[in-house]
Amino acid sequence: MADVQAALGGAGLRNVHVREYVRHWAELTGAERIEVISASDDARLIGEALAEREILPAGEGRYYSRSYVKDTARSEERTIVATSNPADKGVYNNWRPAGEMRPLVEERMRGASAGKTMYVVPYLMAPAGSPLEQYAAGVQLTDCRTVALHMIRMARVGVHYIDNLADQNSFVRAVHVTGDLEKLGQGTPGDQRYFVTIADERTIVHFGSSYGGNALLGKIAHGLRQAAYDGWASGEFLAEQFMLIGITDKLTGKRYHVCGGFPSASGKTNLAMMLPPDALADRYRVDFYGDDIAWLRADPDDGKIYAINPEFGVFGVAKDTSEVTNPTALAAVAPGTGTLFTNVAYNDLTHEVWWEGRTPAPPADLAGWRDWTGTLISERPAEDTGAPWAHPNSRFTTTLANVPNVAPDFDDPKGVPIDAIIFGGRTRDREPLIRAITDLAEGVYDGLTLGAEATFAAEGVEGLLRYDPMSMRPFMAYPEGAYAAHWLRVIGSAASQPIFAHVNWFQRDPEDGHYLWPGYRDNLRPLIWLLRLKEGEVRGRQTPVGIIPAKDELDLDGVTATPEELKTILSIDTPRWKQEIKHREQHLEQFAGLPEEIWQAHRRVAAALHRAD
């Protein structure tokens, strides 16, 4: 049995609540050793992990690991929000009683770290000194060294973050036990994994994975689920799966900040790391703050909404990241950045990494290349020759400071004032390039009806989206009706409110399927239009579903789209919208206690579409 007191005392960790917490879980999991980790331990841990071949060198100051083949993604079915109050059950939060879940998870964790080291990772999900700091502190326990290395990149990690807490007991307890991955029946009826956030006890217990999305508990479990619950329970803030950027007009010197939610595979990281198109680069600068999570609060002093990115790094999808789609990300994972790659293809001889989309074709010389499962490409069976080299969900993990256009004030504890909140899915028709919404309830309504195309089309249900409210469907912590009310309250309490907008970079030509808008860097253009609309510099054209750019209001210098393409993406397809509005009604009807303001917004939009005949 590990000597808990000696390990914590040796690390200078004095917080008695942390000591008690570590003692409890060390005993339950049977860990053999305890080690307290700070960011300054990174080089030593990297050396140890290399020596044990848990990670492999991937060029100067970069590393590579493979996860178990059946442990490569977040599991939504096995993820649960538990509390003691049945009224916390929502449509998406997979609610279960805390009293039922805790013993189930404890049973699986009991003795499961025998012979292993339990790393104690004290962390902060906020810049130090943030007004939301009391919700940001946590201590992750993990029996996986690679997870500890990821945490150092993704969160601010150090003993001082929890030893100096005003309320010494106000840290999130985040326990991660890997389990015997080969015996967990992933995806079968006997699946042993449990990823549980006991939200009203501020305790996270994840068993049965060492893949980042399930095992980096500061990020999704704390930064989204727990924080969303805390933000609601305290009434103080919103925690959302949002990117956050700054846009500076170099001519006027004005700085703007935009945040927003996009369902998976809708280009959020590329947007967050975007550079201006060449034609606009003299005039505008885009700063990166975060690609995945934002916490939003109203500041009582100046009446504005402020946002922080609680994370310290980027856990980005590698697939399709290239010089064209995201040159900034490539620079952020360049040699010397300390980047950890997971489940991409790896070359034993040269230590290079590669993923689909990195270059138009895979490396021609196959010598030394292995796919993400570890199989030599040259020896893959004939039936696997077309299979991807990298897992589609392969990742890079790098710190924010490595992103070349990271905002100079990304670490400012106050956060940045928000001018606009945007939502965007991947929608092949109907959704124009951008439509602005100036009414708060209509903006929240738009977020609640956000969706991306799913496989429904195959079932012949024309136009039906997989709704993903505010892009929070997998991370929802409490009931959706209360969630909408909390949004109205937090943003409504600000004297100076952000403008909302819905964006869509993905409209396609119905005949040949090509994209009508070039996307990527050019996505800055509609955002600039939105900020100018807010400033009263352009007026746009009112439609039943919002304000869209009038002809000539978008700066299109250097854009290759044809006039016909532009016409399509800057107009409203009323018959298609009328279909959509019926689906929305069914979607919203699921949510008990949805505020009347949201229903009124829905009826207003429906009536305006009706009048548009």
Residues that bind ligand OXD in the complex, under the rule CB under 6 A? 74, 213, 264, 292, 315
CA-nearest of 223, 346, 232, 361 to 293 is 223
Between 92 and 315, CB nearer to ligand OXD:
315
Q: Which of Mn ion, ligand OXD, none does residue 350 bind (CB under 5 to 8 Å by kind)?
A: none
Give the C-alpha separation, 292 to 260, whole Å: 9
Give the C-alpha separation, 221 to 499, whole Å: 29
Q: What is the smallest separation between the CB atom of 313 and ligand OXD, expressed in angstroms? A: 11
Give the C-alpha separation, 605 to 600, whole Å: 9
Contact flag: residue 240 with Mn ion (CB under 5 A): no
Q: Which of ligand OXD, Mn ion, none does residue 127 bind (CB under 5 to 8 Å by kind)?
A: none
CA-nearest of 317, 436, 429 to 74 is 317
Pairing of strands 194-198, 255-261: unpaired
CA-nearest of 222, 202, 221 to 83 is 202
Residues in contact with Mn ion, shown as a per-residue x/- string from 253 to 292 under the rule CB under 5 A: ---------------------------------------x
Q: Which of Mn ion, ligand OXD, none does residue 240 bind (CB under 5 to 8 Å by kind)?
A: none
Q: Which of Mn ion, ligand OXD, none does residue 74 bind (CB under 5 to 8 Å by kind)?
A: ligand OXD
Q: Which of Mn ion, ligand OXD, none does residue 102 bind (CB under 5 to 8 Å by kind)?
A: none
Task: Report the chain's C-alpha Rg in angstroms.
Answer: 24
Q: What is the smallest separation between the CB atom of 390 and ligand OXD, expressed in angstroms? A: 16
Q: Which of ligand OXD, Mn ion, none does residue 315 bind (CB under 5 to 8 Å by kind)?
A: ligand OXD
CA-nearest of 529, 480, 484, 485 to 503 is 529
Residue nearest to Mn ion (CB): 292
Q: What is the smallest separation between the CB atom of 393 and ligand OXD, expressed in angstroms? A: 8
Between 130 and 241, CB nearer to Mn ion:
241
Between 74 and 489, CB nearer to ligand OXD:
74
Give the C-alpha separation, 438 to 500, whole Å: 6
CA-nearest of 172, 193, 197 to 82 is 197
Please report, as residue ranges, which positions from 289 to 328 form the binding site for Mn ion (by CB under 5 A): 292
Residue 48 near residue 168 (C-beta atoms within 8 A): no
Q: Which of ligand OXD, Mn ion, none does residue 316 bind (CB under 5 to 8 Å by kind)?
A: none
Q: What is the smallest separation between the CB atom of 314 and Mn ion, expressed in angstroms? A: 10
Q: What would the 3-class secondary structure string for 143-168 be?
A: CCHHHHHHHHHHCEECCHHHHCCCCC
Residues in contact with Mn ion, shown as a per-residue x/- string from 41 to 70 under the rule CB under 5 A: ------------------------------
Between 168 and 264, CB nearer to ligand OXD:
264
Give the C-alpha separation, 324 to 533, whole Å: 29
Between 37 and 259, CB nearer to Mn ion:
259
Give the C-alpha separation, 219 to 151, whole Å: 9
For the chain, the farthest-separated pair of C-alpha atoms sits apart, in whole angstroms, at: 76
Q: What is the smallest separation between the CB atom of 609 and Mn ion, expressed in angstroms? A: 32
Between 135 and 315, CB nearer to ligand OXD:
315
Quick check: helix, strand or coil at residue 96? Answer: strand
Q: Which of ligand OXD, Mn ion, none does residue 213 bind (CB under 5 to 8 Å by kind)?
A: ligand OXD
Between 72 and 497, CB nearer to ligand OXD:
72
Contact residues toward Mn ion (CB under 5 A) are 292
